[in-house]
Amino acid sequence: MTIGKSPRRSAPDSSAPIPAEESSRATTDGPSIGRQLARARIDAGLTVDQVSTRTRIRVPIVHAIESDEFERCGGAFYARGHLRLLAREVGLDGEALVARYDAEHGGPAARPAGQLLDTGPIKVRDHNRPNWTAAMVVAILAVVALIGYNLVGSSSSGGQQPGAASAPLPSGVSAPATGSPSAQPPAPENSVAAIAAAPADKVTVKLVAGPDKSWVTAKDGSGKSLYSNNLEAGQDQTFTDPKKITLVIGNAGAVHLFVNGKDLGPAGQDGQVVHLTYTPGDPQAG
């Protein structure tokens, strides 16, 4: 008599693939940075196009960040800026996301924010210093113009009255005092040219944020950081250096550029990242 063997119950297959969500949960404490942003955007009822329009971050970059492909941002500096903008738009804590990004990608601790605040007063003093220089130039030109007018007046007076060389001097001195207003109109034209030519041995760059804001970094000729922060709409910064000024502008279309007294217009297109360097001889003619 043959007794049939009962089928053995097979053990669970330990090599079966783990679902993506469980795998992510096993390796990180909660959803990734990109997943958090995507979920918050959906919960807020926003599309990628709407978020792109509000933050001026291009649609492909928004998709890349939500997929945790931060290398598409062009560097850690821009990735942090994009994270802050996106988090603010969908209601998340931007600083918390940036801190997690730095922890996962080996970025710096949160100390540079304090360093950015420390650079503010320095740039205010640099911004005011060219104004004092211009005022001094105007005063000097006014004195030179007055002396020149006096010399011309005294020489013409001496030609008309050669016999009284000593007598015309008092009238020659007092006459320019009453006629000095007529000698002053040319001074503003000369002063404008002098103001433009005054910093010829230096480069002066002024940035003015338009209707939108932009991330801006500025370094002097030795590579020292002069500014690294968000330039809000309506704000301006001026930088001066004997050698050169190097700029990185994250939203070029939002920043109006003045170099050595010349209006160069917007630094680029909206959402465009530009790298610029200016020296005392810039901008070149044409």
The answer to whether the CB of 258 falls within 8 A of the CB of 283 is no
Cα angle value 81/86/89 (rounded, 5°): 130
**What is d(CA 251, CA 283) in angstroms, rounded to the nearest whole number?**
21
Distances (CA, A) of 39 to 34, 35, 86, 108: 9, 6, 12, 27
**What is d(CA 46, CA 42) in angstroms, rounded to the nearest whole number?**
6
Residue 240: both structure tokens together: 């001066």
**What is d(CA 116, CA 161) in angstroms, rounded to the nearest whole number?**
70
| HSE-CB for 96 with a 13 A CA cutoff | 9
3-state helix, strand, coil in the chain (%, to 5): 50, 15, 35
Cα angle value 251/257/259 (rounded, 5°): 145
Per-position pLDDT tens, the chain of length 286? 444 444 444 433 433 333 434 333 333 568 999 999 999 999 999 999 999 999 999 999 999 999 999 999 999 999 999 999 999 999 999 999 999 999 998 765 545 444 444 445 555 455 555 577 788 888 999 999 989 888 877 666 555 544 444 445 444 444 444 444 444 444 334 334 434 444 678 999 999 998 888 989 999 999 999 999 999 989 999 999 999 999 999 888 889 999 988 999 998 988 899 999 999 988 864 3
Per CATH, which fold does 28-110 belong to? 434 Repressor (Amino-terminal Domain) (1.10.260)
